[in-house]
Chains A and B, each alone.
Chain A
């Protein structure tokens, strides 16, 4: 229980930080795509005895590269391409799960199982979180500029292609970390909701990151606690608390909430 609380809070904090960039860049759909597309990578890695983060990373970045390639080489619009590619990858993952003889528990990957997390997985999650936070902190100003005005970033000689793939790589890694706690299906909530909640509460990026991390950690702790005592889905509880916090912000935020906007 304590382990589950700690690891959920950690993953929540990391995803919360990343969610600010996802919200501002408008990459919610991309987050959804990457998190689904890592499934075949996870299955293959398990089957080959490799760390699952490696497989997930390869397929996460691979899916994004595929999306970029198909979009560039055809007349199909981006959202269609995203929908097409990630479902394809996800389906491949499902088939692989049913065809590889191993003790992979599909529900565990899809919906997470933080209360039963193994020591090895905890270690891996710590490492992933460390790498993600380090990269985000190191490039935080560049990434912010990249989200805000890529043209300017480019015209002062910043390598925007690098930043694009950096953010995508970090997204894949975070999706893997989130996979442990809430599973593939709901990890996109961890990568979007805290950022959206924080965005309603402030016009400052620094404050936005702290609010996102705070709300995300709080949701993880409360969610795990609730699911433990009510014996219900952990992923469901975590995401429900997040959604609840978002609704609160949506209704009551000082400047951007709907109640305050109508009264002023």
Chain B
């Protein structure tokens, strides 16, 4: 079994305050893993560590057996941001955004080759945005924007996809399309790590779940980890019956 992400006893602190400690996580190739936790539980911090934005004070990360920086140079990691972190009025077209997924594989001047254009076209087809490829980003709806950023990750042909709250504020059509795409990508042996607080989605299509609250509380197959007791621990001691409503 190929291991995509191996995080071993990760500790991250910001100026002395601990954001994450002793977090260990192993993601095999071809899986969808839901990352569940409260705001401030360390989900974003884990993403930042996996994209090299923060340096762990202890522990190590291997992606496809490589150090983070090396894996990034190999185009192994794609990060799909929360739309809130992006300036939507930025003067770029949908096509430009998706083409940015190819930059890492291009030469220094980033001049697209035929193969890059094909990859972009293909990715746009898969998220059903090909018709809107010349639209500026500002003319898209929230769901279409999410799909554009997902297309960028697909065009990059990364084997590890990190998605920050992909289901936040999207329409039903986009949600369905994204879920289908995740399953396709999983079958192409990609590993997908999704941070979410929508518990029903986790039940529906995540193979694995990791519960986070400053550390990894529980990790494993969805059916085993997704117990009311575990969830109540992850959400800071709410009684299990409060959460039961959200986990059919």
User: Measuring CB to CB, which residues of chain A are less than 8 angstroms from any residue of chain B?
Assistant: 24, 138, 141-142, 144-145, 147-149, 151-158, 199, 202-205, 208
Contacts and interface: CB of A to CB of B under 8 A. Distances in A.
B189 interface: no
Among B75, B78, B96, max chain A CB count under 10 A is at B96
A155 B52 contact: yes
Interface in B62-108: 69, 72-75, 77-79, 81, 85-87, 90-93, 96, 100-101, 103-104, 108
Contacts of B176: none
Given A203-B136, A203-B138, A155 B91 contact: no
A155 B86 CA distance: 15
**Interface of B: prevailing SS:** mixed
Contacts of A208: 91
B52 A149 contact: no
Contacts of A157: 69, 72-75, 104
B78 A155 contact: yes
B100 A155 contact: no
Contacts of A141: 103, 109-110
B91 A149 contact: no
B53 A154 contact: yes
A146 B203 CA distance: 37
Specify the main secondary structure of chain A where it touches its partner: helix
Return the 6 tightest CB-CB contacts between A and B, nearest first: A203-B136, A156-B104, A157-B72, A141-B110, A157-B73, A155-B79
B100 A145 contact: yes
Contacts of A158: 103-104
Nearest to A147: B90
A145 B99 CA distance: 10
A142 B108 CA distance: 9
Interface in B105-146: 108-110, 136, 138-139
Given A152-B79, A156-B156, A205 B92 contact: yes
Nearest to A142: B110
A194 to B, nearest CB: 14
A164 to B, nearest CB: 14
A37 B100 CA distance: 35
